[in-house]
């Protein structure tokens, strides 16, 4: 006889939860993946046959198929504070002194030291033992609801393993807090895949984590291997005594807790822990940026209380930026798109903070002189927050006897042309507009995401096309389609990628005038200035014919910008380029949008985040063509806020003001 489905479903859920715990929390699976999949498939099948038995805490509901996140505001019952940072032993001793001063004289003080995980903090609320809400920190008082995204993290229990602790505490209604993070290897893998497909890469695991938990679609989140450590437990019961015990309770309840914590009797023991982990941080599979030190007694924590935004009972000991010593083999001068020469240090490759470093920026000649950096020196390099590495200082004790001061180049290292140095600038420039390095730089800038957004036409391909003679300037990009048959024969390319490239080149013709103006690469005309000029002059012809005074009449545009614009248009080569781009069909005036209907008449919209089906410009045009209008900031007069991927602060503002939010799907329906 067939078993009662309800019974079997419950049995399966229990089993799967147990195996999830063994696998994701303890990292000790007791069955094979195959056996595990059998259980999950059986549960899916039974739930399909008995949909009325599906409950939100079923392990099959971690990635619900039609769920999205609402990012609704969530008020934190207790504010989510941040920590004050310390950077030295002295500052840690001061912290200890402040703690002692804040407590009755002679009272015993213990500290708990934990690793400071470099991720994104989150609050989880359990009611009757079930996960009901997950929220971001937000501004500390109000966060955003991300429950459906957090449910995709397999080590987060949807149901607490037990609700009565070994000491008989009932812990079914609790709030726990912790850090969502991604392991370094997983981060690298995702970045590599994104690089291959021409997508934007992330600077570090933390940024990737932050971007992921704000995705609208939990199905996408489930594909990114997020992890979590919990470090805080709150319950209304007054029977909790110490933070150390709380960490043990969290483990008992089934949460992943980073086990590298230690109870310390005094600040010296705390310092030992900090120094030990500053040394050992590279051995961990995830990033930590310091140690968090907390007063152990919860009663003492309450007495100490908070100052402004951080507690008096805890502090973060931050690790120093990671440094390495290596040989500076050579200083080379890189030529940028405007001809600027930038010195770059070529280093003996060294491994630092997760990657091998072989180059570091030296900024300019003044910087080199100030630090007295020379070829052949042993230098100390540093990588702070995973940015471009820099040379901090020279180890003069190891300087070779015959070392020479760095000399400024006398001619362009790429094309051999003369150099010039404007009086009021540190930079030196290559004079030759047709210098291959400048040509490549200009084309790369033209095609970049913030300019013409031609996907696939990055540094490597630009170099290749310039070297092969297909591109001599950026207007040549629009002639590439005439060479399709030749291009697909290039070994690294092939039919599919050439067609993708040609498609994105065609698509770039729809970029609005302000982007085209920015893409031209006029010195000092960045994206913001280009927008101001486009808004004011409306067309390239009007800008070309404007006097210096007229240009300077635009808000925040000064003489160096207007000089540069005049210089650009006085060069006949540039005029010819513009003529060719006009012929190719690029937009050299602002769009006048035809109003086709009054469907959205009187309605105002604000857009935030990226939409997957259209660019922001297209969305704007669509709204205007239907009679609506688009504002750049949220106010109480806004009717709708359209929320794309990775929304910004506008979302928070809209939520505060209670403005209706539209997902991309809802927006598409509206403008259908």
**CA-to-CA distance for 506 and 503, rounded, in angstroms?**
5
Applying CB under 6 A, the span of 53-61, 77-85, 264-272, 334-342 interacting with ligand IVH comes to 77-85
55 vs 316: CA distance, rounded Å? 41
Q: Reply yes or no on whether 116 is catalytic.
A: yes
The nearest distance, CB 212 to ligand IVH, in angstroms, is: 15
Query: How many CB atoms sit inside 10 A of residue 608's CB?
Result: 20
Instruction: Please tell me whether residue 117 binds ligand IVH under the rule CB under 6 A.
Output: yes
Q: Which of residues 216-255 bind ligand IVH (CB under 6 A)?
A: 231
Our CB check for ligand IVH shows the closer of 116 and 154 to be 116
Cβ closer to ligand IVH: 233 or 498?
233
Q: Shortest gap between Cβ of 139 and ligand IVH (angstroms)?
A: 12
Q: Which of 20, 47, 96, 114 binds ligand IVH (CB under 6 A)?
A: 114
Pairing of strands 314-318, 85-86: parallel
Give the number of other CB atoms < 10 A from CB of residue 272.
Answer: 13
Residues 6+ apart with CB under 8 A from 252: 161, 162, 165, 166
Q: Which member of 153, 292, 352, 634 binds ligand IVH (CB under 6 A)?
A: 292
Residue 284 interacts with ligand IVH (CB under 6 A): yes or no = no
Identify the three-state secondary structure at position 155: coil
The nearer residue to ligand IVH, 293 or 661, going by C-beta atoms, is: 293
Question: CA-CA distance, 165 to 523, in Å (whole number)?
Answer: 67
Nearer to ligand IVH, 115 or 529 (CB): 115
What is the spatial distance between Cα 480 and Cα 457, in angstroms, rounded to a whole number? 12
Q: Which of 122, 156, 154, 149 is nearest to 220 (CA)?
A: 149
* The one segment of 116-124, 150-158, 403-411, 525-533 that binds ligand IVH by CB under 6 A: 116-124
The minimum distance between CB 408 and ligand IVH, in angstroms, equals: 44
Segment 154 to 213, residues that bind ligand IVH, using CB under 6 A: 179
At its nearest, how many Å lie between ligand IVH and the CB of residue 229?
Answer: 7
Select the residue interacting with ligand IVH from 9, 43, 46, 83 (CB under 6 A): 83
Radius of gyration for the chain, computed over Cα atoms and rounded to the nearest angstrom: 30
Min dist CB 260 to ligand IVH, Å, is 10
CA distance 557 to 280: 52
**Cα 513-517-523 angle, rounded to 5 deg:** 165
Contacts of 498 (CB under 8 A, 6+ apart): 484, 487, 488
CB of 114 to ligand IVH, least distance (A): 4
Q: How far is the CB of 164 from ligand IVH (least distance, A)?
A: 26
Our CB check for ligand IVH shows the closer of 202 and 568 to be 202
Task: Exactly one of 3, 100, 116, 371 is catalytic; name it.
Answer: 116
Nearest 5°: the CA angle 261, 266, 268 is: 90
Stretch that binds ligand IVH, among 55-63, 79-87, 242-250, 465-473 (CB under 6 A): 79-87
Nearest residue (beta carbon) to ligand IVH: 121
Residues 590-619 within binding reach of ligand IVH (CB under 6 A): none
Residues 6+ apart with CB under 8 A from 312: 98, 99, 102, 304, 305, 306
In the block, which residue shows the tokens 């005439």?
A: 482
Stretch that binds ligand IVH, among 115-123, 215-223, 268-276, 639-647 (CB under 6 A): 115-123
CB nearer ligand IVH, residue 117 or residue 533: 117
Residues 473-512 close enough to bind ligand IVH by CB under 6 A = none
Within 8 A by CB and 6+ apart from 235, the residues are 169, 171, 173, 174, 175
Site residues for ligand IVH, window 307-346 (CB under 6 A)? 311, 314, 316
Q: What angle do CA 200, 205, 211 make, to 5 degrees?
A: 55
Of the listed pieces 81-89, 102-110, 160-168, 651-659, which binds ligand IVH according to CB under 6 A?
81-89
The string over 640-662, giving b where at least 16 C-beta atoms fall within 10 Å of a residue's C-beta and e elsewhere, is bbbbbeebeebbbbbbeeebebb
Could you say which of 13, 62, 76, 116 contacts ligand IVH (CB under 6 A)?
A: 116
Q: Which of 436, 474, 480 is nearest to 452 (CA)?
A: 474
The number of residues that bind ligand IVH (CB under 6 A) is: 13
Minimal distance, residue 179 CB to ligand IVH, in Å: 5
By beta-carbon proximity to ligand IVH, the closer residue of 29 and 79 is 79
Report the alpha-carbon distance of residue 617 to residue 327 in Å, rounded.
49
Q: Smallest gap, in angstroms, from Cβ of residue 278 to ligand IVH? A: 15
Q: Is residue 82 a contact point for ligand IVH (CB under 6 A)? A: yes
Q: Which of residues 364-403 bind ligand IVH (CB under 6 A)?
A: none
**Across-strand partners of 419?**
430
Categorise residue 88: left if φ over 0, alpha if ψ from -120 to 50, beta otherwise.
beta
**CB-based contacts of 90, cutoff 8 Å, min separation 6:** none
| Interface residue list for ligand IVH (CB under 6 A) | 81-83, 114, 116-117, 121, 179, 231, 292, 311, 314, 316
Residues noted as catalytic: 116
């Amino acid at each position: 006889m067939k078993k009662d489905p309800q019974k079997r479903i419950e049995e399966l859920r229990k089993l799967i939860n147990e195996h999830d715990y063994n696998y994701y929390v303890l990292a000790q699976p007791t069955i094979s993946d195959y056996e595990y999949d059998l259980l999950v498939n059986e549960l899916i099948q039974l739930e399909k046959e008995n949909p009325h038995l599906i409950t939100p805490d079923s392990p099959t509901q971690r990635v619900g198929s039609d769920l999205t996140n609402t990012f609704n505001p969530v008020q934190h019952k207790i504010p989510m504070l941040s920590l004050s940072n310390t950077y030295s032993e002295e500052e840690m001793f001061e912290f200890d002194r402040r703690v002692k001063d804040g407590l009755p004289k002679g009272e015993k003080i213990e500290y708990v030291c934990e690793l400071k995980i470099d991720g994104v903090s989150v609050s989880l609320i359990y009611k009757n033992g079930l996960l009901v809400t997950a929220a971001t920190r937000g501004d500390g008082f109000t966060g955003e609801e991300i429950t459906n995204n957090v449910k995709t993290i397999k080590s987060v229990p949807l149901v607490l393993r037990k609700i009565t602790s070994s000491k008989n505490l009932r812990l079914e209604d609790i709030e726990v807090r912790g850090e969502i993070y991604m392991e370094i290897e997983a981060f690298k893998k995702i970045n590599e895949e994104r690089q291959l497909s021409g997508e934007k890469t992330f600077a570090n695991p933390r940024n990737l984590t932050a971007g992921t938990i704000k995705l609208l679609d939990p199905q996408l989140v489930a594909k990114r291997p997020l992890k979590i450590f919990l470090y805080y437990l709150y319950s209304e019961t007054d029977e909790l005594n110490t933070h150390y015990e709380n960490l043990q309770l969290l483990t008992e309840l089934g949460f992943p807790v980073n086990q590298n914590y230690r109870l310390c009797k005094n600040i010296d023991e705390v310092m030992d822990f900090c120094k030990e982990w500053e040394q050992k941080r590279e051995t961990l599979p995830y990033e930590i940026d310091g140690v968090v030190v907390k007063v152990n007694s919860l009663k003492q924590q309450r007495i100490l209380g908070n100052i402004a935004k951080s507690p008096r009972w805890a502090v973060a000991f931050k690790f120093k930026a990671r440094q390495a010593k290596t040989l500076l083999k050579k200083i080379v001068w890189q030529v940028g798109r405007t001809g600027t020469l930038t010195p770059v240090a070529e280093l003996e490759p060294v491994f630092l903070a997760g990657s091998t470093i072989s180059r570091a920026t030296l900024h300019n000649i003044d910087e080199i002189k100030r630090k007295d950096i020379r070829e052949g020196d042993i230098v100390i390099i540093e990588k702070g927050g995973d940015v471009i590495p820099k040379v901090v200082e020279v180890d003069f004790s190891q300087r070779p006897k015959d070392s020479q001061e760095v000399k400024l180049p006398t001619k362009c290292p790429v094309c051999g042309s003369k150099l010039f140095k404007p009086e009021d600038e540190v930079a030196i420039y290559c004079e030759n507009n047709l210098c291959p390095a400048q040509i490549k730089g200009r084309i790369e800038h033209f095609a970049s995401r913030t300019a013409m957004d031609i996907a696939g036409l990055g540094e490597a391909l630009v170099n290749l096309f310039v070297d092969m003679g297909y591109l001599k300037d950026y207007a040549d990009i629009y002639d590439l389609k005439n060479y399709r048959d030749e291009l697909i024969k290039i070994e690294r390319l092939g039919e599919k990628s050439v067609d993708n490239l040609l498609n994105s080149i065609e698509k770039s013709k729809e970029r609005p005038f302000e982007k085209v103006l920015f893409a031209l690469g006029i010195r000092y005309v960045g994206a913001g200035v280009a927008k101001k000029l486009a808004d004011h002059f409306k067309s390239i012809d009007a800008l070309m014919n404007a006097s210096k005074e007229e240009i300077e009449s635009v808000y925040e545009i000064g003489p160096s910008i207007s000089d540069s614009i005049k210089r650009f248009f006085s060069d006949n080569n540039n005029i010819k380029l513009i003529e060719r781009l006009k012929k190719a069909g690029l937009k050299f005036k602002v769009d006048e949008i035809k109003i086709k209907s009054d469907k959205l008449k009187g309605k105002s919209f604000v857009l935030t985040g990226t939409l997957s089906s259209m660019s922001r410009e297209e969305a704007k045009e669509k709204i205007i063509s239907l009679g609506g209008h688009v504002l750049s900031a949220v106010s109480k007069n806004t009717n709708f806020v359209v929320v794309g991927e990775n929304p910004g602060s506008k979302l928070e503002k809209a939520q505060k003001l209670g403005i209706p939010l539209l997902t991309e799907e809802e927006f598409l329906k509206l403008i259908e």
